[in-house]
Amino acid sequence: MGKAIAIFNQKGGVGKTTTNINLGACLALKGKRVLMLDIDPQGNTTSGIGVSKKELEYTVYELLIEDNFDPRDAVLHTSVENLDLIPANVDLAGAEIEMVQLEGREKRLQKAIDKIRNDYDYIFIDCPPSLGLLTINSLSAVESVLIPIQCEFYALEGVSQLMSTIELVRKNLKPDLEVEGVVLSMFDGRTNLSIQVVQEVKKYFGAKVYSTVIPRNIRLAEAPSFGMPIVEYDPRSKGAEAYREFAEEFLEREGVL
């Protein structure tokens, strides 16, 4: 049965979408069947993998709102073999409000995901940078949370809020929700700040921090505008190398390698 993982940090711009697309693509290239679920109304995972947000027949919106919707109808295949996507666009912003009145409003995503778990090895959910109902749905639908943290000043700001959100979900909705791991992104080895952030994050999260650190790499920032994961856009770049290494480490920890 597939494992569902939410890529979560309510802080914006820390590398959630970049990690979703590139970890997903690297795992898919290793033969894992991967589904990326875009639950962010900005739809950055969707456009970043080359899918136009304007021409979507179905999105995560239907999956959350329509009781008898078959999630497979919303699945799109990407240019990477084994890598599928359930897309999102701005319609999803409405779902957050509409869901308030629906039965089982915190568990709607889990219900939908359970219908397709067996089709995949991993299901990654790209959470929006907020703590609303979309995020709560994501956290109650998954086994674990992958937390990207940007190597910047105030990196740990918001982390205690993030951990209390996880705790709240554990208490009320999903007692066995785990922290899968913490991945440091946008590392710049030339600055003391980046090095300090790594130390601080390791002090806070201990062994949960992956030893692979994702460097700041311009090719990673360019790739989404070409609708490609880094391993296709520039396979020899530092960014591609880092995400390949991260995928290895991720699988090692899973005990799959």
Q: Does 5 bind ligand ATP (CB under 6 A)?
A: no
Q: What is the DSSP string of 95-158?
A: HHHHGGGSTTTTSHHHHHHHTTGGG-SEEEEE--SS-SHHHHHHHHH-SEEEEEEESSTTTTTT
Span interacting with ligand ATP, options 7-15, 53-61, 138-146, 171-179, rule CB under 6 A: 7-15
Q: Which of 183, 163, 139, 144 is nearest to 23 (CA)?
A: 183
Q: Does 12 bind ligand ATP (CB under 6 A)?
A: yes
Long-range contacts of 253-257 (CB under 8 A, 24+ apart): 253/181, 253/210, 254/3
User: 24-83: which residues touch ligand ATP (CB under 6 A)?
Assistant: 40, 42, 44
Nearer to ligand ATP, 12 or 31 (CB): 12
User: 120-179: which residues touch ligand ATP (CB under 6 A)?
Assistant: 129
Q: Does 221 bind ligand ATP (CB under 6 A)?
A: yes
Write phi, then psi, for 89 (nearest 5 degrees). Answer: -145, -165
d(CA 55, CA 66): 20
Span interacting with ligand ATP, options 12-20, 94-102, 104-112, 137-145, rule CB under 6 A: 12-20
Nearer to ligand ATP, 129 or 235 (CB): 129
Nearer to ligand ATP, 1 or 190 (CB): 190
The contact set with ligand ATP (CB under 6 A) reads 12-18, 40, 42, 44, 129, 185-186, 214, 216-217, 220-221, 224, 239
